[in-house]
Amino acid sequence: MVATIFITIGFSALLAFVVGLALAFFNEKFKVERDPKIDEVRAALPGANCGGCGFPGCDGYAEAVGTGRAATNKCTAGGASTAETVAKIMGVSDSAAEDKVAVLLCQGTKEKTVSKGDYNGIQTCRAAKLSTGSVKTCSYSCQGLGDCTLVCKFDALEMGEDGLPHVNYENCTGCGLCVEECPQKILTLVPRSRVGSIVLCSNRTTLKASVIKTCKVGCIKCEICVKSCPEGAITMVNGIPVTDYAKCTSCGICVEKCPTKCYKLLETDVFGTKKMVPVMEGAEEQA
């Protein structure tokens, strides 16, 4: 019995040794040389591992760039400077990423929107939407439970006392994680350099009376903005006025004429402040 045990142990050890040698041989024989550019690209990335590039972290993106499976301008966290550096490493022309930031297309604060009642379910926007449709009578409004702030890796979003997430444009990298996370789809990415008017409302209900009942700062579909724009830059699309930025001159007439103040200028009312703050009555500089 004892002899059998020792023979088994010896045979197992010998077999493991042989297999180990075989693996080492084949690993050396068929190994694929790692392109040193992959490590150079990885070193150039900010290391946020935010996933905004569409790959599993910075390691995954560096591997994809180094093997020619991804463009050099996908790192939104690093922005244009990182895109330029990565392009130089790969020996291609600079295709710098357009610098974008998140914009909340809703001004429905606690004071401006009508709540359906107290929500006592799981405290996430997604759960609230699935269980109630919306915690507010406006089914298009921000649920106010901060899912977007939880996924932001750059300290660019925080929930305000007014019940809305506020964007810190100094920190926002345009990674898009908040846009993907929002179940209401009311966060969008906008080029930081863009100028012109934008509607901070996502209510696509075409009935004016329905909007008025649910939100004091919602778009009431009056189309005054469309009619007053001297450049013909605004059209109604699915119940929401949309600006053609190729035509918009930032004259501000639509902003001035809008009865509910849901039309704003990006360069002054949104990007002109550190944080996007919803409009309150009598306020001029807030957005």
More confident residue, 275 or 41: 41
For all residues of the chain together, what is the average pLDDT? 85
Residue 86 sits in a domain of what CATH number? 1.10.15.40
235 and 254: one domain?
A: yes
208-217: average pLDDT = 90
- Quick check: is 134 in a domain? yes
Q: Specify whether the CB–CB gap between 45 and 78 falls below 8 A.
A: yes
Which pLDDT value is given to residue 96?
54
Contact 192, 99 (CB under 8 A): yes
- State the DSSP H helix or E strand holding residue 189, giving kind and residue range, or none if neither: strand 187-191
For residues 136 and 119, the answer to whether their CB atoms sit within 8 Å is no
Residue pair 181/214 in contact (Cβ under 8 Å)? The answer is no
Average pLDDT over residues 26-30: 58
Nearest Cα residue to 75 out of 92, 98, 104: 98
Q: Do 83 and 126 belong together in one domain?
A: no
Does 84 share its domain with 111? no
Q: What percent of the chain is predicted at pLDDT more than 90?
A: 55
Q: Does one domain contain both 61 and 133?
A: no
State how far the Cα of 218 lies from the Cα of 206, in Å rounded to an integer: 11
Question: Would 283 be classed as within a structural domain?
Answer: no
Domain extent for 69: 36-90
Is the distance from CB of 132 to CB of 119 less than 8 angstroms?
A: yes
User: Which residues are CB-contacts of 247 (< 8 A; sequence separation ≥ 6)?
Assistant: 231, 232, 233
**Do 202 and 105 fall into the same domain?**
yes
The band of 25, judged by pLDDT with boundaries at 50, 70 and 90, is low
CATH number of the structural domain spanning residue 176: 3.30.70.20
181 and 58 both lie in a single domain:
no
* Residues 72 and 138 both lie in one domain: no
The DSSP secondary-structure symbol of 245 reads T
In a domain, 171, yes or no: yes
pTM: 0.73
- Residue 54: partners with Cβ closer than 8 Å, 6 or more residues away: 61, 70, 74
Asked if residue 65 and residue 165 are part of one domain, the reply reads: no
